[in-house]
A = this chain, B = another copy of it.
């Protein structure tokens, strides 16, 4: 399940993508436009900034904007930053692998095997769909 945090983060990213060429966007404007609690949004934007996805400037005339053009930012990046690994089971994660303590043998674990497929399918979609792609309904992987 996508947390509210990740959902808000994605909404913010799309908003910033739409305003990419209009100078920095204020947290307050973003919060109001997308119905996101302002204080909560602060945290989210800060996290995204620390991971290099967003850039911001303090002081008068400041605000947030994307650090790269929207066609270079993939949804997977944003979701991983805010919600952690995409994988449904940690032993299957590429970015945050952790072994299951009760697992007798990873090579024969049925759950791991299937969940790896799920992870791969998910990552394939989220890591190849940029903000721009999503806005224009260009999904590079067919869903069925």
Query: Residues of A with Cβ closer than 8 Å to B?
Result: 1-2, 7, 10-11, 14, 34-36, 75, 87-89, 100, 102, 110-111, 113-118, 120-122, 124-126, 129, 131, 134-135, 137, 139, 141, 143-144
In this complex, what residue of B is CB-closest to A124?
Answer: B144
A126 CB to nearest B CB, Å: 7
Number of this chain's copies in the assembly equals: 2
With beta carbons under 8 angstroms apart, the residue of B34, B110, B124, B137 that contacts A102 is: B34
Which residue of the partner chain, among B75, B89, B141, B143, contacts A116 with CB atoms under 8 Å? Answer: B143
Closest to A135 in B: B110
Q: How far is the CA of A131 from the CA of B114 in the complex (A)?
A: 10
